[in-house]
Structure 1
Amino acid sequence: MKNFALIGAGGYIAPRHMKAIKDTGNNLLSALDKHDSVGILDSYFPAANFFTEFERFDRHLEKLKRQGTAIDYVSVCSPNYLHDAHIRFGLRIGADVICEKPVVLNPWNIDALLEIEKETGKNIYTILQLRLHPAIIALKEKVAAAPANKRYAINLQYITSRGNWYHASWKGDLQKSGGIATNIGVHFFDMLMWIFGPVKENHVTLHTADTAKGNLVLEKANISWMLSIDANTLPEAVKATGKRTYRTLSIDGDEFEFSEGFTELHTKSYEEIIGGKGFRIQETRAAIELVHNIRNAK
């Protein structure tokens, strides 16, 4: 049984990590969040020690270490701009780190973290759960088996409506979240490059606080993409149903369906990481470079 600490216990994604830790037969000893709306801990690890101040969390983990209880993994679910610092903290206390995407906001941050990995002898892993989705694995195999000169036409639209709270939170701050393409798009871009190869051309046609659009030329695909949190961008047919989310990925005009099968992918990610086969920080570089370039495109 491995011992875990969790940073960012009050966030949207944290319960998936709690479930993954429990489902893999491991234990969450300690959790941190500056907000105390963390009753979800009762569903998974009611005995976990919880802190709202980083300094007390740090002191507690240090005390455990001196008593002979090491933290094997630190799971990082904090806001995007804090990932870098929280990863460093995990490595410094002698733990491996599992970090939500995006691991960092800028490509050069990866280089610095790789250096600290070497210094500490510990590893940084990230959650790229789309790469573990059976339908996506099958698509990658199909593309790999196709003729080398085969090119695909892809249309990606992902609209996940958010209320006014979004812009008042860290997610609405470009410096903290990296903007729309980073915050809600980085895992889609990673998936597309994993399947269709590296970026040849990147054209951004719109980038606002609510919506981003562009065209990508990858090694094996031409991609038109749109990401938005603005409910006004929903297709009329979707609005009529009262739904606030719309996702479509078409390949050569045919809908590619991968809406199901997401619930267990964090647990699968943890199984891979604990088994020594998780996705390392270097694997995220291409997607981090792309969303950085999208964010800074004119």
Structure 2
Amino acid sequence: MKNFALIGAAGYIAPRHMKAIKETKNNLVAVLDPNDSVGIIDSYFSEADFFTEFERFDRHIDKLHRRNHHNQVHYVSICSPNYLHDSHMRFALRSGTDAICEKPLVLNPWNIDGLKEIEKDTGRKINTILQLRLHPAIIKLKEEIAESNKSSKYEVDLTYITSRGNWYLQSWKGDIKKSGGIATNIGVHFYDMLHFIFGGLQEVVVHHSSDTKAAGYLEYENARVRWFLSVDIEDVPSAVRAEGQRTYRSITINSKEIEFSGGFTDLHTRSYEEIIAGRGFGLEENRVAIETVSNIRTAEPLGLKGEYHPFLRNILT
């Protein structure tokens, strides 16, 4: 049995990590979150020590480490706001544990280089959650494309709209310095998936960028991708909204819809199984996706020019 500490328990993604720790028959011994609305912990590990102050959490982890206590921590799982991931991974490694970090790993690619130095100095490892790489449908698609003899690049449209209320822009997620912006916050795992399936990234173009939506074009070794991301419910197609749906996701390859909406429920548990077995995704596996979102963040939007996503006509015309 491995012992875990968790940084960030009050957010959307933390329960998936608690569930993964539970389902892999491991133990959560300590939790940190400045917000004390964390009753969800009781559903998984009611005996875990809880801290709202980093300094007390730090002291507690250090005490467990130095005393060779039976509750000594082996992994620190990180579900904190995006801009804190880098610091919390450094804390984990310097505390003598491995880290498991939610996406996005960091906001800028040069942060990866700094973390590699910390790994080398401490002898510890950073593992990341890239769960789409473990999705059976994505693995099958990657294999099919690798085995195909197609001479031209695949034509791909990626559309992801996940509606958020007014709270979104008032939270850290609405602050580009903290979240990295919309493409980073809700798109980074899709960019990793595209790289995983279609190979090296060759071109990044941005057609539109705002606080609530972004669109552009990406070219990979084996694909040309038009993408559109949004948290604005007005972008959900009217027919879908009429059915009471607030989310819309579509990926087409050569005009054929790719279905992978199922199979998501246990991917964090699968990620933890792989990490504990020594097969976790490390820093370098994240580099292309982080370079992608960093380039998107700094690119000058072109508007309705070139290979833009068709949803953009509804916004810019």
TM-score, normalised via structure 1 length? 0.99
Question: SS where residue 207 of structure 2 aligns?
Answer: strand
Alignment of 1:3-152 (within 5 A): 3-69=3-69, 70-147=72-149, 149-152=151-154
Q: What is the Cα deviation at residue 148 of structure 1?
A: 5.6
**Alpha-carbon distance in structure 2 between the residues aligned to 1:66 and 1:126:** 26
Please tell me the root mean square deviation across aligned C-alpha atoms, in Å.
Answer: 0.7
Percent identity (aligned): 64
After TM superposition, give the deviation of residue 65 of structure 1 in Å.
1.7
User: Which residue in the other structure is 1:220 paired with?
Assistant: 222
2:159 to 157, 163, 181: 157
Task: Report the AA paired with residue 13 of structure 1.
Answer: I
Alignment of 1:176 onto 2:159 = no
Bigger mean CA deviation after superposition, 58-67 or 78-87: 58-67
For residues 4 and 150 of structure 2, what CA distance do their matches in structure 1 show? 44
Match of 1:284 in 2: 286
Alignment pair present for 1:270 and 2:272: yes
1:109-152, Cα deviation, whole Å (9 max, x unpaired): 00000000000000000000000000000000000001162421
Please give the alpha-carbon distance, in whole angstroms, between the structure 2 residues aligned to 1:128 and 1:58: 27
How many residues get paired? 298
Q: Which runs of 5+ in 1 are unaligned?
A: none
Q: Aligned with 2:96: secondary structure?
A: coil
Instruction: Supply the distance in 2 between the matched residues of 1:227 and 1:118 (Cα, whole angstroms).
Output: 37
**What's the offset of the Cα at 1:67?**
2.2
Aligned-partner Cα distance in 2 for 1:149–1:19: 44
Structure 2 gap ranges (5+): 301-317
Q: Which residue of 2 aligns with 1:189?
A: 191
**Counterpart in the other structure of 1:233:** 235
* Amino acid of the structure 1 residue aligned with 2:177: Q
Provide the TM-score with structure 2 as the length reference.
0.93
Which residue type is aligned with residue 189 of structure 1?
Y
CA shift, 1:248, in A, is: 0.4
SS in 1 for 2:272: helix
